[in-house]
Amino acid sequence: MGPLAWRIARRELRGGIRGFRVFLTCLALGVAVIAAVGSLSAAVKAGLARDSRSLLGGDVELQLFHRTADARERDYLAARGQISEVAQMRAMARTLDGERTSLIELKSVDAAYPLYGAVTLAVAGGKQAPSLAAALALKEGHWGAVVAPGLMDRLGIKEGDSIRVGDAVLTIRASLVHEPDAIGGLLEFGPRVMVGEPALAATGLVTPGTLISYGYRLRLPPGSASAQFVAGLRAAFPDAGWRIRDLGNAAPNLQRLLDRLTVFMTLVGLTALLVGGVGVGNAIASYLAGKTETIATLKCLGASRRLIFRTYLAETLALAAGGIALGLVLGALAPFLAASLLPAQLPVSARLGIYPAPLLLAATFGLLATLAFTLWPLGAAAAVNPGGLFRARVEPVLGRPPARFIAAVAVAGALLAGLAVLSATDRRLALWSVLGAVAALALFRLAAAALVWAARHVGRPRRPGLRLALANLYRPGAPTAGVLASLGLGLAVLVAIALVEGNLMSEIDTRLPEHAPSFFFIDIQPDQTASFDALLHNMPGVTELARVPSLRGRISALNGVPVERAAVAPEARWAISSDRGLTYAAELPAGSRLVAGSWWPADYRGPPLVSFDAELARGMGLKLGDTLTVNVLGRELTARIANLREIDWTSLGLNFAIVLSPGTLDGAPQTHIATARTAPGSEAALARAVSQRFPNVSAISVRDALANLAGVIDAIAAALTAISAVALAAGILVLAGAVASGHHRRVYDAVVLKVLGATRRDITRAYVIEYGLLGLAAAALAAGIGTLAAWLVLTRVMGTEWSFRPGAVAATVALATLLTLFLGYAGTWRALGAKPAPYLRSE
Partner 1 sequence: MPFPSDGPIVLVEDLHLTLASAAGAVNVLRGISLRIEAGESVGLVGPSGSGKSTLMMVLGGLERPTAGRVEVAGLDLGRLDEDSLARFRRDTIGIVFQSFHLVPTMTALENVAMPLEFAGRADAFARARAGLEEVGLGARLLHYPAQLSGGEQQRVAIARAFVAAPKLLLADEPTGNLDGATGRLVIDLLFRLRAERGTTLLLITHDHELARRCERIVALADGRIAEDSAVGLARLGRG
- The residue among 298 and 723 lying less far from partner 1, judged by its C-beta, is 298
Specify the stretch interacting with partner 1 by CB under 8 A; choose among 254-262, 381-389, 422-430, 452-460.
Answer: 381-389
Q: Which ranges of 523-609 would DSSP assign to H, the alpha helix?
A: 529-538, 574-577
User: Which phi-psi region, left, alpha or beta, contains residue 568 (left: φ > 0; alpha: ψ -120 to 50)?
Assistant: beta
Using CB under 8 A as the binding rule, whether residue 293 contacts partner 1 is answered as yes
Name the minimum Å distance from CB 11 to partner 1. 5
Burial (CB < 10 A; 0-12, 13-18, 19+), residue 389, is middle
Size of the site for partner 1 (CB under 8 A): 27
Q: Indicate the residue among 105 and 315 with the shorter CB distance to partner 1.
A: 315
Q: Please report how close the Cβ of residue 811 comes to partner 1 at its closest, in angstroms.
A: 46
Is 744 a binding residue for partner 1 by CB under 8 A? The answer is: no
CA 712/CA 593 separation, integer angstroms: 31
Piece in contact with partner 1 (CB under 8 A), picked from 294-302, 464-472, 733-741, 787-795: 294-302
What is the SS3 assignment for 146?
A: strand
Asked whether the beta carbons of 695 and 101 are under 8 A apart, the reply is: no
Q: Which of 141, 238, 302, 681 binds partner 1 (CB under 8 A)?
A: 302
Nearest distance in Å: CB 316, partner 1? 15
Candidates 27, 92, 270, 303: give the one binding partner 1 (CB under 8 A): 303
Which of residues 304, 543, 598, 803 is near partner 1 by CB under 8 A? 304
When binding is defined by CB under 8 A, the residue of 125, 128, 391, 476 that contacts partner 1 is 391
Q: Would you tell me how many other CB atoms lie within 10 Å of the CB of residue 255? A: 16
Looking at beta carbons only, is 179 or 315 nearer to partner 1?
315
Strand pairing category for 609-613 and 635-647? parallel
Nearer to partner 1, 303 or 690 (CB): 303
Q: Which is nearer to partner 1, 390 or 565 (CB)?
A: 390
Examine residue 298 and tell whether it contacts partner 1 (CB under 8 A).
yes
Among residues 141, 390, 457, 835, the one that binds partner 1 under rule CB under 8 A: 390
Residue 300 interacts with partner 1 (CB under 8 A): yes or no: yes
Which of these segments, 324-332, 389-397, 693-701, 819-827, binds partner 1 (CB under 8 A)? 389-397
Is the separation of the CB atoms in 734 and 560 below 8 Å? no
Q: Measured from the CB of residue 286, what is the shortest distance to partner 1 in angstroms?
A: 17
User: Three-class SS of residue 355?
Assistant: coil
Alpha carbon 432 to its chain's center: 15
Least distance to partner 1, CB of residue 301, Å? 5
* Partner residues linked to 120 by β-bridges: 178
Out of 294, 433, 691, 698, which residue is the one contacting partner 1 (CB under 8 A)? 294
67 touches partner 1 by CB under 8 A:
no
What is the smallest separation between the CB atom of 382 and partner 1, expressed in angstroms? Answer: 10
Cα(831)–Cα(825) distance, rounded to whole angstroms?
A: 10
| Residue number, 227 or 300, with CB nearest to partner 1 | 300
456 binds partner 1 (CB under 8 A): no
The DSSP code for 387 is G
475 binding partner 1? (CB under 8 A): no
Query: How would DSSP label each residue in 157-195?
Result: --TT-EEEETTEEEEEEEEEEE-TT---GGG-SS-EEEE
Rg of the chain on CA atoms, in Å: 34
Nearest to 734 by CA among 20, 22, 17: 22
Q: How far is the CB of 442 from partner 1 (least distance, A)?
A: 31
- CA pair distance 545, 526, nearest whole angstrom: 16
Instruction: State which residue, 311 or 698, has the beta carbon closest to partner 1.
Output: 311
- Number of alpha carbons in the 13 Å side-chain half-sphere of residue 335: 25
Buried b (16+ CB within 10 A) or exposed e, 411-444: ebbebbbebbbebbebeebbbbbbebbeebbebb
Question: In terms of CB distance, is 282 or 292 closer to partner 1?
Answer: 292
User: Nearer Cβ to partner 1, position 64 or 382?
Assistant: 382
Please answer whether residues 299 and 384 qualify as being in contact, where contact means their C-beta atoms are separated by less than 8 angstroms: yes
Q: From CA 206, how far away is CA 210, in angstroms rounded?
A: 6
Quote the least distance from Cβ 304 to partner 1, whole Å: 4
- The continuous run of DSSP H or E covering 210 comes out as none
- What b/e readout covers 710-723, taking b as 16+ CB neighbours within 10 angstroms? eeeeebbbebbbeb
CB closer to partner 1 out of 405 and 600: 405
Which window, 290-298, 485-493, 715-723, 750-758, contacts partner 1 (CB under 8 A)?
Answer: 290-298
3-state secondary structure of 593: strand
Helix (H, G, I), strand (E, B) or coil at 807: helix
Pairing of strands 142-147, 168-178: parallel
> Is residue 618 part of the contact set for partner 1 (CB under 8 A)?
no
Alpha-carbon span 27 to 129, nearest angstrom: 53
Cβ nearer to partner 1, comparing 60 with 380: 380
Among 49, 220, 389, 715, binds partner 1 (CB under 8 A): 389
In whole angstroms, give the CA distance from residue 730 to residue 752. Answer: 33
Work out which of 162, 207, 213, 385 binds partner 1, going by CB under 8 A: 385
CA distance 554 to 575: 9
Give whichever of 174 and 384 is closer to partner 1, judged by the CB atom.
Answer: 384
HSE-up (13 A, CA, CB side) for residue 443: 20
**∠ Cα 405 409 413 (to 5°):** 165
State yes or no: residue 82 binds partner 1 (CB under 8 A): no
Nearer to partner 1, 474 or 802 (CB): 474
CB of 725 to partner 1, least distance (A): 37
| CA 557 to each of CA 66, 386, 625, 636, 653: distance values in angstroms, whole numbers, following the listed order | 21, 76, 15, 9, 27
299, 552, 688, 805: which one contacts partner 1 (CB under 8 A)?
A: 299
The SS3 of residue 288 is helix
Output the smallest distance, CB 25 to partner 1, in A: 23
Among 382-390, 586-594, 657-665, 791-799, which window interacts with partner 1 (CB under 8 A)?
382-390
The dihedral through the CA atoms of 481, 485, 491, 492 has a sign that is positive
- Interface pattern 5-24 for partner 1 (x via CB under 8 A): --x---xxxxx---------
The distance of closest approach from Cβ of residue 474 to partner 1 in the complex, given in angstroms and rounded to an integer, is: 16
Q: Is 296 in the site for partner 1 (CB under 8 A)?
A: yes
Which range of residues in 4-12, 280-288, 616-624, 756-764 is near partner 1 by CB under 8 A?
4-12
Binding residue for partner 1 (CB under 8 A) from 71, 79, 235, 301? 301
N- to C-terminal Cα distance for the chain? 39
Stretch that binds partner 1, among 3-11, 250-258, 712-720, 791-799 (CB under 8 A): 3-11
> Applying CB under 8 A, does 386 fall inside the site for partner 1?
yes
- Helices (H) and strands (E) counted in the chain, each on its own, are 26, 22
Residue 273 to residues 34, 324, 367: CA-CA distances in angstroms?
8, 11, 11
Binding part of the chain for partner 1, among 152-160, 303-311, 519-527, 681-689 by CB under 8 A, reads: 303-311
What does the per-residue mask of binding to partner 1 show for 334-373, with x meaning CB under 8 A? Answer: ----------------------------------------
Residue type, 142: H
**Binding interface with partner 1 (CB under 8 A):** 4, 7, 11-15, 293-294, 296-307, 385-387, 389-391
